[in-house]
Structure 1
Amino acid sequence: MSRVVRFNRIGGPEVLQIEAIDVPAPKAGEVQIRIKAIGLNRAEVMYRSGEYTYAPQFPAQLGYEGSGVIEAVGSGVQDFAVGDAVSVVPAFSFIEYGMYGEVVNAPVHAVVKNPAGLSFEEAAATWMMYATAWGALIEFGGLKQGEAVLVGAASSSVGLAAIQIANMVGATPIALTRSEKKRDALLKAGAKHVIAGGGAALTQQVLELTDGRGAQIAFDPVGGPEVAHQLRALARQGMFFQYGALDTRDLSVPVMDLLGRHLSVRGYELFEVTTDTARLERAKRFITEGLASGALKPAIDRTFAFEQIADAHRYMEAGEQVGKIVVTV
């Protein structure tokens, strides 16, 4: 028997329940993992609340990220063995798999060995944020040394990952945040500059910081009418990546800026990376090298015990964290 977190109706954190279930042996192409730590993600809050891209199937499971030790392997699995310390990359749907549990099965294509020296908590905080940021900034955006990138919601785990990746390639991360209270934490996290608030002042500050050139990339999970100010702050042939919908209103796109500077506005999601074998392998190499060199280091804001899973979701909904929320098992 394994304790797992499931829910049987859409709602707030209170719908999450810890249940004991029998976990089947891993099938072909799967491994079974005894989970030590779970990384929380905004997608899990949205799924639980009925606001995700697909509806829950009850009893519904949760969890894109987990880290632990392999207990069993299914047929056809060659690169992993019992006793390996591993992490899970988000490369599946909640309908198929969920990492909120003491013992879980995971598809082998979504499993990666933990680099030496990385704790289970750090490993559980790694793959969603770094793979998401890598895909937009490096794989699709081609961010280069000397270029500037605007990082929306910069205190989120993905925002902090984008800051570290930008620094790793010699680019200039400009952190965007709602208020001044996170400025010091973002500078400590590696942001070269921090802009608090939005509006036309954001555009002006970016242009001043980049000597009038503008930023090459804007990487934003918020959206809504404020996007216009980021677009006006982009360089010629700049790219805007929308990877979330914290503001579900339509984007405001200034058409003359779009045309006059040949800007690109693009929807982006992690699964463009994790469902493509070649891209996923490139992401794994880049991130593993960054972790090994110390250029990438997961930032953990707070940890909760497994029994506090509802409290962990409440804390995420409050939006006050700087970094990853992790649940220990």
Structure 2
Amino acid sequence: MSITARAVLFHEIGGPDVLSVEEVELPAPGPGEVLVRVEALALNRAEALFRSGGYFYQPTLPGSRNGYEAAGVVEAVGPEVTAFAPGDPVLSAANRELSDHGVYGDLVLLPETALVPRPTGVDAETAAAVWVTYSTAYGALVERAGMRAGDHVLITGASSGVGTAAIQVARRAGAVPVATTRTEAKRRRLLELGAEHVIVTGAEDVVEETRRLTGGRGAEIVLDAIGGAEFAALGAAAVEDGTLISYGWLNEQPILLPMRWPLTVLGYNNFALVGTAEGRRRTAHYIGSGLTDGTLRPVVAEVFDGLDRIQDAHRLMDSNAHTGKIVVRV
């Protein structure tokens, strides 16, 4: 028996206009599969890069799906599924290739291992905005870099979803978040969200300001969303034997490494964490406890109503005018 669903597909590389809402036929859930009715989805920079051909893997065309992150309710389960039952509220774990398992749609079929329970008492729009950003910030800063209380953490591109989450994750650990943004207009908002200091890159030198703010020492951890040639300069913003983490490609040019040793340089891929059952368990506990105690508060820039607004949502993503997450209510 097949199920008719609506899905966002694209058949060629390009801008937001290549995205279209189409009817698709889904099979009934097979062994280990779960059918989820999506209530809300959230955009990530990776999906704009995937749509435009700039991601670290390429879409399967024509008819590629897109979308890592969604909140919904289990509609049906296939044989051998033990962790979920119809009616359970869930989140997608963002640990699958996008062409086949993208979650832009009203009904999506996913492996059981691609889902986690939705945090208790969290509405769909908020829940859709938490998993990718907080799992990336938690995984990079806590699990990989071993962030400690008192550490200065330099966060580039801090008005992004991961950037705003990283500010809160650093605060939760007792660390000192130092945020960068390209415009003066976003400085106040980042301070309101918990940044201890904000460096406006269009008017201030990131390395000089970081060293000034840290009494000449530099930051223990640098979390970089940009990459490219600018990454090499960030080495001078770190303490001796500090840690630089590259997790994004806002600059699509090859990353240049700093010639300033000793220094630990990490290329962070969130699949390494959320691709394992134990990693998903730890991450879900961290996010759930942070939402409960109020130390993690998702920043939602705008909510669009309906899958038919997906092009508008992607246009906002491409504009870089927002702070936080972009959500589409399905």
What TM-score bracket applies, with the shorter chain setting the length? over 0.9
Q: C-alpha offsets along residues 226-267 of structure 1, whole Å, 9 cap, x if unaligned?
A: 223321111121111111111123444442xx22xx111221
1:1-329 correspondence to structure 2 within 5 Å = 1-57=4-60, 58-197=62-201, 201-255=205-259, 258-259=260-261, 262-305=262-305, 306-329=307-330
Shift of 1:310: 0.7
Distance change (3 Å), C-alpha of 1:135 and 1:199 = farther
Asked whether the 8 Å contact 1:199–1:226 carries over to 2, the reply is no
Distance 1:199 1:185 in 2: 17
| Secondary structure at 1:96 match in 2 | helix
| Secondary structure at 2:316 match in 1 | helix
In the TM superposition, structure 1's runs of 4+ consecutive aligned residues that sit over 3 Å from their partners are 250-254
Distance 2:109 2:191 in 1: 39
1:131 maps to a residue whose letter is S
Distance 2:186 2:83 in 1: 42
| Secondary structure at 2:27 match in 1 | coil
| Secondary structure at 2:8 match in 1 | strand
Q: C-alpha offsets along residues 263-311 of structure 1, whole Å, 9 cap, x if unaligned?
A: 1122111112122333232222211211121111111000112211111
Distance change (3 Å), C-alpha of 1:30 and 1:251 = same
Distance 1:140 1:239 in 2: 10
Distance change (3 Å), C-alpha of 1:225 and 1:55 = closer
Asked whether the 8 Å contact 2:9–2:19 carries over to 1, the reply is yes
User: Structure 2: which 5+ residue stretches go unaligned?
Assistant: none
Distance 1:99 1:204 in 2: 42
User: Structure 1: which 5+ residue stretches go unaligned?
Assistant: none
Distance change (3 Å), C-alpha of 1:200 and 1:116 = closer
| Secondary structure at 1:184 match in 2 | helix
TM-score normalised over the length of structure 2: 0.94
- Between Structure 1 and Structure 2, how many residues are aligned? 325
1:271 maps to a residue whose letter is F
Shift of 1:145: 0.4
Distance 1:222 1:162 in 2: 15
